[in-house]
């Protein structure tokens, strides 16, 4: 199998070996040590400000998006949501479900967020902003620093969904001033799905510990309290947390976050160069490193996905909704190399020879 989706992605051998081990009991000092190591490296790689805390959540990242909305906002907030694709729209739906007053800044698929567009909302007493730094459905990267500056000026509680951007695109949590960031195990961390991670800056720690949330499982104050001893309130995905530990230490040994980000960037650049001669168009105005969104000019995008899967054993990532037949995505995260890109391009060239694209 060769997997170019955006998660779950290809795992490295060491991470896979840990997945094959027995899962240990977790209310132990040994497991707490694993959790503290994970916390330390997550804070370091996200460049989190002093005093930040980490919540390891046993749920997919949508659960963490929901936890952040529930714990950080109430009906007395006014939140600006950047909606440029299906993940942005998920934040809109979460605000609706939890009755958080919000205004939607809608962008077309592939469109970048300009400063001019964002500053239309300047000085309008917003209290929060929700954005997916890489809107993975279209592969658009938003400028976390430019948005951070807007939030600083307006004293806005800034939430970054970095689920696919963490370790793929440069992100400096302290510098851009994000109050909370979210990521997940199955994207650039290249582990199985099941764990999502929320980093809370001191401002967010203060907020979640001083407010009441109507939830047992998504009570972030409770999660942080348990994390003081390297534990979680309930049984976590112990095996995946151990795999994350292996992976984080591997990244650290290779030189840290910037080295991994550069690796993903190289993988993306290589793909975008190699695909140039094929009858495709790029979708994103400001492409993120983690994924390339591609519009086939002469073929149905979902058909391209099916043929690659069924006839070549290669997985690219189909799109859903109204992009299903027009856009497919190719991921650059996980254990992929430039040679893997060549394998994919050769398959596409073969399809072209067969008159399929």
Using the 8-state DSSP alphabet, how is residue 75 labeled? T
Which one, 161 or 222, has the nearer CB to ligand PLP?
161
Q: What angle do CA 311, 316, 284 make, to 5 degrees?
A: 140
User: Is there binding between residue 161 and ligand PLP (CB under 6 A)?
Assistant: yes
Q: Which of 148, 106, 143, 110 is nearest to 129 (CA)?
A: 148
Among 26, 87, 126, 315, binds ligand PLP (CB under 6 A): 87
Which one, 154 or 292, has the nearer CB to ligand PLP?
292
Closest approach, Cβ 137 to ligand PLP, in A, equals 8
Closest approach, Cβ 315 to ligand PLP, in A, equals 16
Tokens found for residue 190: 């290249």
> Which residues from 116-135 bind ligand PLP, rule CB under 6 A?
132, 134
Ranges of beta strands (E only) in 58-156 are 79-83, 102-106, 128-132, 134-135, 140-141
| Rounded Cα gap, residues 315 and 86, in angstroms | 21
User: Is there binding between residue 143 and ligand PLP (CB under 6 A)?
Assistant: no
Q: Per CB under 6 A, which region of 75-83, 159-167, 246-254, 333-341 contacts ligand PLP?
A: 159-167
User: Is there binding between residue 164 and ligand PLP (CB under 6 A)?
Assistant: yes
3-state secondary structure of 81: strand
| Rounded Cα gap, residues 165 and 134, in angstroms | 5
Q: What number of chain residues touch ligand PLP (CB under 6 A)?
A: 12
Tokens found for residue 239: 């095996």
- Mark residues 45-74: x for contact with ligand PLP by CB under 6 A, - for none: ---------------xxx------------
Helix (H) or strand (E) holding 196: strand 196-200
Closest approach, Cβ 242 to ligand PLP, in A, equals 19
Q: Tokens 């936890």 label which residue?
A: 67
Torsion of CA 315, 319, 324, 328, to 10 degrees: -50
Among 139, 184, 192, 236, binds ligand PLP (CB under 6 A): 184
Among 3, 5, 111, 136, binds ligand PLP (CB under 6 A): 136
Q: Tokens 């104050």 label which residue?
A: 221
User: Is there binding between residue 319 and ligand PLP (CB under 6 A)?
Assistant: no
**Chain residues in the site for ligand PLP (CB under 6 A):** 7, 60-62, 87, 132, 134, 136, 161, 163-164, 184
């Amino acid at each position: 199998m060769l997997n170019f989706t955006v998660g779950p992605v290809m795992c490295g051998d060491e991470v896979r070996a840990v997945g094959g081990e027995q899962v240990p009991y977790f209310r132990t000092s040994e497991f707490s040590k694993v959790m503290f190591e994970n916390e330390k490296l997550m804070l370091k790689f996200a460049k989190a400000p002093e005093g930040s805390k980490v919540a390891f959540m046993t749920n997919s990242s949508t659960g963490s998006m929901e936890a952040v909305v529930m714990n950080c906002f109430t009906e007395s907030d006014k939140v600006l949501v950047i909606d440029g694709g299906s993940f942005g729209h998920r934040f809109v739906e979460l605000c609706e479900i939890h009755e958080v007053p919000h205004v939607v800044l809608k962008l077309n698929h592939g469109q970048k967020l300009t400063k001019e567009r964002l500053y239309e909302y300047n000085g309008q007493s917003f209290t929060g902003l929700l954005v997916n730094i890489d809107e993975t459905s279209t592969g658009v990267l938003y400028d976390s620093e430019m948005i951070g500056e807007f939030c600083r000026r307006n004293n806005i509680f800034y939430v970054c969904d970095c689920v696919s951007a963490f370790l793929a695109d440069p992100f400096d949590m302290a510098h851009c001033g994000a109050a909370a960031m979210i990521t997940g195990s199955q994207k650039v961390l290249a582990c199985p799905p099941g764990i999502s991670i929320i980093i809370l800056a001191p401002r967010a720690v203060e907020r979640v510990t001083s407010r009441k949330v109507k939830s047992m499982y998504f009570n972030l104050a409770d999660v942080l309290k348990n994390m003081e001893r390297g534990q979680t309130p309930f049984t976590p995905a112990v095996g995946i947390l151990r795999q994350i530990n292996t992976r984080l230490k591997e990244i650290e040994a290779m030189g840290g976050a910037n080295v991994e980000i550069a690796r993903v960037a190289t993988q993306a650049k290589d793909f975008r160069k190699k695909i140039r001669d094929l009858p495709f168009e790029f979708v994103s105005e400001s492409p993120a490193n983690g994924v390339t969104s591609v519009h086939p000019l002469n073929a149905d995008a979902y058909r391209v996905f099916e043929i690659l899967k069924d006839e070549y054993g290669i997985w690219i990532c189909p799109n859903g909704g109204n992009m299903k037949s027009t856009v497919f995505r190719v991921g650059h995260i996980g254990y992929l190399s430039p040679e893997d890109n060549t394998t994919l391009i050769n398959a596409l060239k073969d399809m072209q020879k067969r008159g399929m694209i």
